[in-house]
Structure 1
Amino acid sequence: MADILLRDIDPEMAERIKAMARERDWPIHDVILHLLRQGLGMAAPLPPMPGDIARLGGAWDDSEARAFDEAMRALRALPGER
């Protein structure tokens, strides 16, 4: 296998790589290889992380959750049979 030296990584990119390594409990080397494979269209889909039901079923961000709550309140306020 070839070795490649990567220089001049900006601090924001380096922090995102480190954060991903912490989140997945992977070595930074593995994160970088995964990102390169993904960027080149060579990555297999990641299996769900244990206990991560949000990845299996999807998750809403805060604005989506607020919009859903507002819609439900509006529906409950409509007159009708109960």
Structure 2
Amino acid sequence: RSIPLQHGFTIGKSPGSNLILDDGYTSTNHAQIGMEPGGTCRLYDRNSTNGTFANGVRITEVVLGHGMSIRIGSTELRFLAE
């Protein structure tokens, strides 16, 4: 499915997350995507227990590019810029 982003988009197990991923490897407040002026998007790990991965590499922060894979817990996502 496709999910539109807004600034401060949150990912985690918390019921207040924009994208709720309820698995044993996802933290309550796992990651966040921020949007910068000009359209650049950054993915931030929010001190998760099991890490956030972009293109297979564990990150604390990364600029997202079209087609990048994101793994949070046991969930694989793909970032598609429009």
The TM-score by the shorter chain falls in which range?
A: under 0.3
Structure that is richer in strand per residue: 2
- RCO comparison, higher one (Cα < 8 Å, 6+): 2
TM, length-normalised to structure 2: 0.23
Higher gyration radius (CA): 1
